[in-house]
Chains A and B, each alone.
Chain A
Amino acid sequence: MAERCQPLVRVEAEDFDIAAEIDRLTAGRKDVGAVVTFTGRCRDESGRLAALELEHYPGMAEAEIGRIADEAVERWPLTGLTVIHRFGKLRPGENIVLVVAASTHRKAALEAADFLMDYLKSRAPFWKKEHPAGGEEGRWVEAKTEDEKALGRWGKV
């Protein structure tokens, strides 16, 4: 068994550069056969969203994503793993979260990225508040029970 990679976790207000993050896990390496990226973006289906405010628990957000990422590198033979989650006020079309998983064969990277996103949604301490256009009072997004149920696929963590 190859040595486990050390995941990179960042929680920040700034946007991320997807190409640069892929490069970080692949530059100069010939053993990486698959790179999977997942980008979560701020969407507005109704045309009425001015911004999404992401509140987070500093310290715990990094720690919890780190625990989930450690679990992923334990379960799948990844050559690299990066998770970046933004906070603050984001506008429709902006990036929220990035997962980059790299491995020798595609299945490990695909599954690890899927696992990461399922766990981030229900376990990472972030809360979304929608600010409608027109200056009305913001509204907290409610957690979805299907997000919680999705964790069942992965067994006990």
Chain B
Amino acid sequence: MKLVYFAWVRERIGREIETVALPQEVETVTDLLTWLKGRGDGYAAALEYPEVIRVAVDHEHVEHEAKLPADGEVALFPPMTGG
């Protein structure tokens, strides 16, 4: 699974992209956020309030209840401030 991060999520985690092998029990977006949070201080800081994190799978917004695809690009970012 390819993970990409943006804005302060990227800054706190300290990287913009990584490839991870997810454990089998990580099935949903919520599972992914919980699992990532335990990977180190940067992740814990970025995902302290997981409910505010927005997630996209293959360039489309998804809800936290959504199932993760077997493979693909998952993006984590703060609420958007464009326009």
Contacts and interface: CB of A to CB of B under 8 A. Distances in A.
Nearest to A97: B83
Given A120-B82, A125-B56, A127-B7, A57 B77 contact: yes
Contact of A97 (B6, B80, B82): B82
Closest CB pairs A-B (n = 7) = A126-B82, A143-B79, A127-B7, A121-B83, A60-B59, A120-B83, A141-B81
Given A57-B56, A60-B59, A63-B59, A127 B6 contact: yes
B82 A125 contact: yes
Given A85-B83, A127-B78, A127-B80, 5 more contacts: A40-B83, A124-B83, A127-B6, A127-B81, A143-B79
Interface in A53-90: 54-57, 59-60, 63-64, 85
Given A59-B59, A129-B7, A142 B81 contact: yes
A124 B4 CA distance: 16
Interface of B: 4, 6-8, 56, 59-61, 75, 77-83
Interface in A107-145: 117, 120-129, 140-143
Contacts of A140: 7-8, 78, 81
Interface residues of A, number: 28
B81 A126 contact: yes
Contacts of A124: 80, 82-83
A60 B75 contact: yes
Given A57-B75, A60-B56, A125 B8 contact: no
Nearest to A38: B83
Contacts of A121: 80-83
Nearest to B79: A143
Contacts of B8: 140
B27 to A, nearest CB: 23
A140 B4 CA distance: 18
B81 A125 contact: no
A100 to B, nearest CB: 15
10 contacts: A57-B6, A60-B56, A63-B59, A122-B79, A124-B82, A125-B75, A127-B7, A127-B78, A127-B82, A128-B82
B77 A117 contact: no
